[in-house]
Amino acid sequence: MLDQQQIKAAADALYTAEKTRQQIQPITLTYPNMDMDDAYAVQRAWVDKKISDDGAAITGYKIGLTSRAMQMAMNITTPDFGILLDDMHFPNNSDIPAADFLDPRIEVELGFVLKKPLFGESVTVDQVLDATDYIVPALELIAARSFRVDPQSGYTRTVFDTISDNAANAGYIEGDVRVAPGDIDLRWAGAICYLNGEVEETGLAAGVLDHPAKGICWVCKRFAPHGIGIEPGQFILAGSFTRPIAVKPGDKIVCDYGPLGVINAQFT
């Protein structure tokens, strides 16, 4: 277990990396014996610093590593989560400065906004849907405050580095079409994502644990031992059903969700 001084040092390094736009070495290079609890402690310390120093506020959560392909890539068999802050939100049709983010990439997801609280280790899909006010298409903007591959050593960061780095979350772009959870078959909700006019990725939301609401069940189970639940009004990114798409200045993302509308984002 990392001690409080080590947790603070790691969180401060990630915070400085984001502020200076300079990536750092993966945290596990400094702390090779850190575990998942350590990683979430670093993440929370980073979030607390964003709240205390920047005046940010928690608005929800993101759930990651929900697809089998991504779990295999990270050599892990469980999802992870990060924390959404109010300064991470972008409306549809935003111009987004790519230079504000370290190694930015886009993932295709669905967002859930709750009307009832959710808590407990045995929350079901039906309970998630009953507690959901509406579902909206959303693109997650991920970044890497620590190098994915350290340029000096060639070391590849681990899932503990990703979790420490707020599960790679840096922002999200919200679509305009809101639907009630009973109005569509969420497993078959899909999207075609274009990068500069070319189809780059397609996918179905069933790629998220066979149902996107299952990611929310998982995070409720993860939070329950700590007495934490998901609150009404919070925004939950349920997990990507495409691989990450790298973006750079000048790139245009158009993501067509069919009946759920289109999300546009221009990277400047």
pLDDT-wise least confident of 69-73, 201-205, 219-223: 69-73
- According to the model, what pLDDT value does residue 111 have? 97
Residue 58 CA, chain-centre distance (Å), reads 14
pTM strictly above 0.85: yes
- According to the model, what pLDDT value does residue 38 have? 96
Is residue 9 domain-resident? no
Q: Quickly tell me which residue has 């298409």 as its tokens.
A: 137
Q: What CA dihedral angle connects 81, 187, 171 and 160, to 10 degrees?
A: 30
Is residue 245 domain-resident? yes
- According to the model, what pLDDT value does residue 77 have? 64
What's the count of helices (H) and strands (E) in the chain, helices before strands? Answer: 7, 13
Is residue 202 domain-resident? yes
| 268 vs 78, residue with greater confidence | 268
CATH number at residue 239: 3.90.850.10
Is residue 36 domain-resident? no
Is residue 111 domain-resident? yes
Q: Rounded to an integer, what distance in angstroms lies between the CA atom of residue 53 and that of residue 221?
A: 30
Is residue 15 domain-resident? no
pLDDT (tens digit, 9 = 90+) per residue, 87-145? 999 999 999 999 999 999 999 999 999 999 999 999 999 999 999 999 999 999 999 99
Q: How confident is the model at residue 68 (pLDDT cuts 50, 70, 90)?
A: low
pLDDT (tens digit, 9 = 90+) per residue, 174-194? 999 999 999 999 999 999 999
Q: How confident is the model at residue 67 (pLDDT cuts 50, 70, 90)?
A: low
Residue 232 sits in which domain range? Answer: 58-267
- According to the model, what pLDDT value does residue 70 have? 63
Q: Hey, which bits of 27-104 come out as E strands?
A: 58-64, 80-85, 89-91, 94-96
For residue 71, is pLDDT > 80? no
What number of CA atoms fall less than 13 Å from residue 128's CA on the CB side? 24
Instruction: Quote the number of domains for the chain.
Output: 1
- Closest to 245 measured CA to CA, from 97, 112, 103: 103
Q: How confident is the model at residue 227 (pLDDT cuts 50, 70, 90)?
A: confident
pLDDT-wise least confident of 37-41, 48-52, 64-68, 242-246: 64-68
Is residue 136 domain-resident? yes
Question: What's the whole-number mean pLDDT along residues 56-84?
Answer: 79
- According to the model, what pLDDT value does residue 76 have? 64
Is residue 33 domain-resident? no
